[in-house]
Amino acid sequence: MFGAVAVFSLLIGFVLGGYVSAPEEPEVSPEPTAFTAESSLYDERIVHTFTPKVDQLLEYRVSYHVQSKPGPSIETVENRTESLSSDTPLVIEIENREPDTEYWVDIRIFDEFDRLVFDARISVGR
């Protein structure tokens, strides 16, 4: 009787031990979030809005470069972490706009899985 209990206990130990140490299934990445872009041109400024189509705040890595043509660079951002949602979009504003000048924004947005989810060059003006 004692031998049967020992064998049974040993089998349960192997089963539970195998269960506890079994490797976890790899997480499946969700579909990448789509973004919409909107640019608004005013007399003295330009406002670019980049909105993810997701309700909850998620972290993204954002890089962009703003430049006037012809002219100097206005702003450069490299790999800045932003928490964005449909209610909290990324806003890039260009102030002191010159009426006869063209402005460019080159932007790249990566999600938490390091996937490129938005990549654009937008020109506004003239």
Nearest to 92 by CA among 116, 110, 67: 67
**Mean pLDDT of the residues in the chain:** 85
Model pLDDT, residue 3: 53
Mean pLDDT (whole number) for 84-113: 95
Cβ(36)–Cβ(80) under 8 Å?
no
Please compute the mean of the pLDDT values over residues 5-25 and round it to a whole number.
Answer: 51
Report, as an integer, the average pLDDT of 91-120: 95
* pTM beyond 0.85, yes or no: no
Q: How many separate helices (H) and strands (E) can be counted in the chain?
A: 1, 7
Give the pLDDT mean for 111-119.
96
pLDDT of residue 34: 95
3-state secondary structure 62-104: EEEEEEEECCCEEEEEEEEEEEECCCCCEEEEEECCCCCCEEE
- Domains detected in the chain: 35-125 (2.60.40.10)
